[in-house]
Structure 1
Amino acid sequence: MHAVHQEWFDGTAAKDLDGVMSHIAEDVISYEHSEPLQYLGLESIREECRRGLEAASGAIDWDVPDLKILVREDIAVAWGLNRMQTQQPDGETAESWSRGTRVFQRREGEWMMIHQHVSFPFDPKTGQAKTDLRP
């Protein structure tokens, strides 16, 4: 599971959409940071990832520094705090943290993500996402 995540981290840094899409199942269901409420299927996730990679004007880095993984037979769950760093047009680096949980199933010998849930905490007073929090 660590190797799967490392492929995603490397694919993100290289802005390699095919690399980012590796290990994502055709029938994936993902709860992303943005609308809609859920993304169904590989193509919807591919489009969301494409938009994210293209939105970064400079370097982009994603990792989960304290990744936790639990594996049982053909099911695995991974969770942790996602750290995204993007280089801004002015050369500064922007950083945001969010929460992430991913569920995998071993299919034909490969670990494939079948579900993902990523979210930002929110401010109950304003209802707005809190993207400036740090662990």
Structure 2
Amino acid sequence: MAHIADDVVSYEHDAPLEHVGVDRVREVCRSGLAASSGPVGWEVPGMRVLVDGDLAVAWGLNRMTAEAEDGTTAESWSRGTRVFQRRDGDWVAVHQHLSYPYDPETGEAKTDLTP
């Protein structure tokens, strides 16, 4: 987490609505990884990046895979946007927003959608 700002603000898939600070983001990541009994993968195929001066924005669809106890691999897709700022010559993440689409009739997150 060397490239995450100490004052990062992250909107994760899980509650609460806002995670502020690198320690809170570290904890939500640790909890997510611990929920899997095997390897976890994360990629953003087709990520787009826009840079202007000392700010950069990256966005795309996130593909997460996690190995289940029975050895099968579960997959989910979500949306993600990340904002980076150059501070003292280094790029650090200052904001992240992750979300799943939802079903407006039930209010339930749609974690089974694929691109």
What TM-score, normalized to structure 2?
0.97
Tell me, what secondary structure is at the counterpart of 1:70?
A: strand
- Partner SS for 2:27: helix
Q: 2:73 and 2:30 mapped to 1: Cα distance?
A: 20
Q: Distance in 2 between matches of 1:23 and 1:101?
A: 16
Question: Does residue 1:84 correspond to 2:64, yes or no?
Answer: yes
Distance 1:55 1:109 in 2: 36
Residues 6-62 of structure 1: per-residue CA shift (max 9 Å, x gap): xxxxxxxxxxxxxxx231100001111110010111111011011111111111110
Task: Give 1:50's aligned residue.
Answer: 30
Q: What residue in structure 2 maps to residue 124 of structure 1?
A: 104
* CA drift at 1:117: 0.4
Question: In percent, how many aligned pairs have the same letter?
Answer: 62
* 3-state secondary structure, aligned to 2:14: coil
Cα deviation, residue 133, structure 1: 0.1
Number of the residue aligned with 1:16: none
Two-structure CA RMSD over aligned residues (Å): 0.7
- 1:73 matched to 2:43? The reply is no
Q: Which runs of 5+ in 2 are unaligned?
A: none
* Cα distance between partner residues in 1 of 2:70 and 2:52: 46
Q: Could you report, residue by residue, the CA deviation over 1:65-117 in whole angstroms, capped at 9, with x for unpaired residues?
A: 11000011100000000000011110111000000000000111111000110
Of Structure 1 and Structure 2, which has the larger fraction of its residues in strand?
A: 2
Aligned residues: 115
Flag structure 1 segments of 5+ consecutive residues without an equivalent: 1-20
- Higher percent of residues as helix: 1
